[in-house]
Amino acid sequence: MGPDPAVAAVRLAVRGTIGALPPGALVLAACSGGADSLALAGALAFEAPRSGRSAGAVTIDHGLQDGSDTRADTVVRTLVGLGLDPVGSIAVSVGAQGGVENAARNARYGALDDAAGRLRAAAVLLGHTRDDQAETVLLGLARGSGARSLSGMPSSFTRSVADRGTSVNYLRPFLELDRATIRRACLAMGLEPWDDPHNDDPSYARVRVRHEALPALEKALGPGVAEALARTARMLRDDADALDDLAERTFAELTDPEEASTGEASTGETVVLVGIRLEGLGDLPRAVRTRVLRKAAVKAGSPPGTLAAVHVDAVDRLVTAWHGQRHVDLPGGLRAFRRYGRLLFGPA
């Protein structure tokens, strides 16, 4: 008699994900103690040794609730009981910049980056589900974001660790599985999940989407909304990847090497960081052109997190609707302006 179907599903998902990693590699599970990440840890503990790889886990103590350190210790004991090694708990300090959710996420990823680098892990597994993906798409839609945001979370991504000169690979095995299946798997493996009270706090937008918006859509449109949103995210990610690749090649074609290098502004002197030839730029499809402009601004030093669509649209008007306007101010103390057949990005 085989395992519970839900257990088989999570194990199969993990098996397919770690199968591309080098034999003998160490794989870490990021585990909060919730049902999704506990099921992830349990599946990894089962699959890793059978595939010739080693498995460990890390839990992050954000310190946002009373007794969080005790709870982290409990999670560590559970992970050790699964046979994972190495296992550890990392306490982080969560600031306030960008809101608690954003600050906690940044602190968490920073700690995971550090642990993965220190342990030379080939990858860190994250327990995000298809339901998480659907929520992410709805949040992006509400913000009026573009295709990249609506494409949701990627199944894999890499984070650079500047101070180490290395990078960390992150993988999401459960993006094709729904939350209910994963919770069933967790319970079927005899694991007792911890339900974070923050997951029921309506002050968080994601919680309102989870408990109000998605159920309302299911009631109005019928079942399968989360699955449809996740499927939409996959298709939009394919589109966004193709457009980004085309924009990358177009940027290289329109950028002169001497006008794509960094420099420092000296008193009374304008130093151009990036320059793009205007000839042909206005004829590009808008989806490609705006990506080229965004890439130029980011390469010049404008922070991606604060460079918004309104900034890119204003720069686009320098290309398509120029009537002598002088420049466009951009985040990061930069500005874009036209000169000598070029669209230039330099210090304000």
pLDDT digits (tens, 9 = 90+) for 100-133: 777 888 889 999 999 999 999 999 999 999 999 9
Looking at residue 267, its pLDDT comes to: 37
Residue 268 structural domain: 255-347
Whether 280 has a pLDDT exceeding 80, the answer reads yes
How many domains does one find in the chain?
2
Of 164 and 294, the structure prediction assigns the larger pLDDT to: 294
Taking only the tens place, the pLDDT of each residue in 178-225 is 999 999 999 999 999 988 887 888 888 899 999 999 999 999 999 999
Do 206 and 328 lie in one domain? The reply is no
Q: Is the model's pLDDT at 282 over the cut of 90?
A: yes
Q: Residue 255 pLDDT more than 60?
A: yes
**Digit-coded pLDDT (tens) for 76-107:** 999 999 999 999 999 888 776 667 777 888 88
pLDDT confidence of residue 266: 41
Question: Are 231 and 141 found together in one domain?
Answer: yes
Last residue of one domain, picked from the residues 182, 209, 236: 236
Average pLDDT over residues 9-25: 97
- Final residue before a domain boundary, out of 208, 236, 264: 236
Question: Does residue 309 sit in the same domain as residue 167?
Answer: no
**133 and 91 within one domain:** yes
CATH of the domain at 272: 3.30.465.60
SS (H, E, C) 298-336: HHHCCCCCCCCHHHHHHHHHHHHCCCCCCCEEECCCEEE
CATH number at residue 77: 3.40.50.620
Residue 318: predicted pLDDT: 94
How high does pLDDT run on average in the chain? 89
Q: Which pTM value belongs to this model?
A: 0.82
| pLDDT score of 319 | 94
Q: Are residues 212 and 312 in the same domain?
A: no
- Examine residue 244 and state whether it is found in any structural domain, yes or no: no
Give the per-residue pLDDT at 31: 97
Residues 202 and 276 in one domain: no
Q: Is residue 245 part of a domain?
A: no
Q: What is the pLDDT of residue 303?
A: 87
Phi–psi pair at 324, nearest 5 degrees:
95, 5
